[in-house]
Chain A
Amino acid sequence: MAQNDYIEQFVKEHGRRLDFEERKRKKEARESHRIAKDAHRLKGWRGKKFAKKRYSEKVAMKKRIKAHEESKLKGTPKPAAEDGEALPTYLLDREQQNTAKAISSSIKQRRMEKADKYSVPLPRVRGISEEEAFKVVRSGKSKRKSWKRMITKHTFVGEGFTRRPVKMERIIRPAALRQKKANVTHPELGVTVLLPILAVKKNPQSPMYTQLGVLTKGTIIEVNVSELGLVTAGGKVVWGKYAQITNEPDRDGVVNAVLLV
């Protein structure tokens, strides 16, 4: 996943070309002709692949049409789906008690969460030595001095960060290895969303890495989940949530993380 959504940025800045809509419409109108031509023309393995894709699309379409028609049907509905436990008449209108139960169970849940706040999906990580993480940058006229370091791992650098003057900057975080977003998976919902990183909370390697914002496997990061629309027990939208990095970003070039729920 590329970090730089330059096309979107360009569109925001300069807009689209004037005949964009027209071209899009025409392209879509040509689409069916192209498919027909492909169906006719493609042979061998490509033909098979095309036919398989076409078939699955058609099945999906038929299913959707059927579901749509059923929803419009009148008459006796099917037996009610098992949505929750059946209740005797004398408990049917007593919802406040059930919600009270739900609230108490959610409080218990939260307490449990607090207890195992640090029981994370990846409990152990490989140790990373300073030699591996830092590259020595030689400086001075004859490159005699070697007090500068460059981080070889991907890093998160907060918004509005300005590098220090060259002669003061001991540790360099290369701009090419900076990450702003992470692919975060919600483990229960099973969806993956690209979310902006807010901060690095803990790097298990060392507190210094945490301070520098080094992103390695097992690092706890805070991500902005406002897009997911998660809601707290009190009804407020959750903004920041913790996630743990599941891949080694310097190998893949992207940050994949799993949300801690």
Chain B
Amino acid sequence: MSTLIPPPSKRQRREAQKPREVNIVPKDLPNVLIKFEASDTGKSIGGSLRVPGGITEKQLEELLNKLNGTPDDYVPYSFALKNGDDQIDIKDNLYTSILKPGIKTTEDFLTLVYTPRAVFKVRPVTRASATIAGHGSTILVAQFAPNTSSRMVTGAGDSTARIWDCDTQTVQHTLRGHTNWVLCAVWSPRGDVIATGSMDTTIRLWDTQTGKNIGGPLKGHRKWISSLCWEPLHLVKPGESPKLVSGSEDGTVKVWDTKRRLCLMTMSGHKGAVSCVKWGGSNLIYSGSHDKTIKVWDAKNGRCTQTLKAHAHWVNHLALSTDFALRVGAYDHTGKKPQNEQQERELALKNYNKVARIGGRDSERLVSASDDFTMFLWDPEHSTKPIHRMTGHQKLVNHVSFSPDGRYVASASFDNSVKLWDGITGKFIASLRGHVAPVYQTAWSSDSRLLVSCSKDSTLKVWDIRSRKLLCDLPGHKDEVYAVDWSVDGGKVASGGKDKTVRLWMQ
């Protein structure tokens, strides 16, 4: 079911008929006064500067790097004009994005907010490098390791999970033990343990090196495990291993000590099934439930600190702006292993702060997707009121994800569209249309420039965030695609679904 691009509408054809304007920056453009301001700390750098009105993004970048005085490690930036409360992205040059549309004139004082972009660039995946059969049933979940793109875990309906060696495209370990479907599988941020939750109500921990089950099953839940999440690395106390939080269909959230293999806390406040749990970087546990509420729990004592009520139907999924940073823990895109626990914690905290600090204060944002076709953007640390209500979808929203830099939110909905939202204000940005059946999940590339979505129509689609267009269509699966993940270093995309095969995609 590869997508045929629909014929241009009448309006589009009329637009094409119009004389096109040529992007030429006039020679006689006067200089403008600008000021640089960091998006995370809110500090301004270099005072006011007089620059030509047609200055390009590249030139702005060079100028800023000079001002920062770091010529040896060149950092790419993206710029946006501060216009009242909202921000206008600068593309190509100052003239075409600001002056020509008449947002500001050359007389005005321009404040440019800069955000560092990823120093590496992920190339879009375009081809299937492997189709690996092995699982005997539908693949329900897929996740790459936090440090490398050569290891990946999938959970399937044949009650096994498998660790794959993505370089040789073979199975490395088959994790046998569960007696029913493996519904969720997550790597710990250290990358040494995988936790799987199953339909048989148990959680199992696996050593990723040997593929052995660590101890027996963690029992406690009375119904199937719907979601698992690891404790962020920077919160782990010295000498301990990260804890695990699990949400279940029976409405409880449990925190597990993975070393002593004990249930430390059981949080039972939800009146319905728990659909998603997240462990935030400020030591709060968020749980969304079918009882329409999101509860915020203090991970220290298990007390419910807040109940966020706004949704009118089930809460399907939660995403934190720091999700990616918490997932990779201490690793960066090079996948270098930290030397000791102390350094590991520091690196993890650094990764976390990079996304969590906005305008000089910690603000870990939460976005919740619901069956009532809307999403809410929250700042649960500071307020019980939502920042913004994100409406626009015409059917239920199944999955939301923050981009790794926290600037965008992508939502996958059953109305066949993926929508893009501003991750800070919650404003609508664009609608990515192309799928012809419900979209199940999305995954971001680690440089936040690309997005991949999987759908019931058996295709994956890669979207370019900057141009907001379909970049690449990836047909190949023979049935619905249930799970997709982009590796942390951006090299590979893995997907799996109803046709029982795992596919790896590369550029």
Contacts and interface: CB of A to CB of B under 8 A. Distances in A.
B275 A89 contact: yes
B180 A88 contact: no
Interface string A61-80: 00000000000000011111
Contact of A80 (B199, B226, B398): B199
Contact of B180 (A80, A85, A90): A80
Contacts of A168: none
Contact of A90 (B158, B199, B224, B316): B316
A86 interface: yes
A253 B388 CA distance: 81
A88 B140 contact: yes
B440 A89 contact: no
A220 B275 CA distance: 54
A93 B249 CA distance: 10
B138 A89 contact: no
Given A80-B180, A90-B317, A85 B138 contact: yes
B179 interface: yes
Interface in B109-135: none
B273 A93 contact: yes
A89 B179 contact: no
B138 A86 contact: yes
A131 interface: no
A82 interface: yes
A191 interface: no
Given A85-B157, A90-B317, A79 B180 contact: yes
A87 B137 contact: no
Nearest to B197: A89
A112 interface: no
A101 B339 CA distance: 54
Nearest to A80: B180
B398 A93 contact: no
A100 interface: no
A2 interface: no
A88 B290 CA distance: 16
Nearest to B496: A88
B138 A76 contact: no
B398 A86 contact: no
B432 interface: no
Interface residues of A, number: 15
- Interface residue tally of chain B, by bracket? 20 to 34
Interface in B392-426: 398-399
Contacts of B398: 90
A92 B275 CA distance: 10
Contacts of B141: 88
Contacts of B200: 80
Nearest to B158: A86
B452 to A, nearest CB: 17
Contacts of A86: 137-138, 140, 156-158, 181
B179 A90 contact: no
Interface in B359-415: 398-399
Contacts of B348: none
B159 A82 contact: no
Nearest to B398: A90
Given A79-B159, A93-B273, A93-B290, A88 B183 contact: yes
B227 interface: yes
A91 B454 CA distance: 14
A199 B249 CA distance: 54
B157 A89 contact: no
Contacts of A88: 140-141, 183, 440, 482-483
A91 B438 CA distance: 12
Contacts of B156: 86
B318 interface: no
A76 B180 CA distance: 11
A89 B186 CA distance: 14
Contacts of A93: 249, 273, 290, 314
Interface in A81-133: 82, 85-93
Contacts of B314: 93
A26 to B, nearest CB: 52
Interface string B301-329: 00000000000001011000000000000
Given A89-B183, A89-B184, A80 B498 contact: no
A87 B138 contact: yes
Contacts of A92: 183, 224, 226, 249
Contact of A77 (B179, B399, B440): B179
Interface string B155-168: 01111000000000
Contacts of A85: 137-138, 157, 498
Contacts of B179: 76-80
A86 B500 CA distance: 10
Contacts of B290: 93
A88 B154 CA distance: 12
A88 B399 CA distance: 12
B224 A82 contact: no
Interface in B134-155: 137-138, 140-141
A10 B422 CA distance: 86
A89 B155 CA distance: 12
A205 B199 CA distance: 59
9 contacts: A79-B159, A79-B179, A86-B138, A87-B140, A87-B181, A88-B183, A89-B183, A91-B482, A93-B249
Interface of B: 137-138, 140-141, 156-159, 179-181, 183-184, 199-200, 224, 226-227, 249, 273, 275, 290, 314, 316-317, 398-399, 440, 482-483, 498
Given A79-B159, A89-B140, A92-B183, 11 more contacts: A80-B159, A80-B181, A80-B199, A80-B200, A85-B498, A87-B181, A89-B184, A89-B226, A89-B227, A92-B226, A92-B249
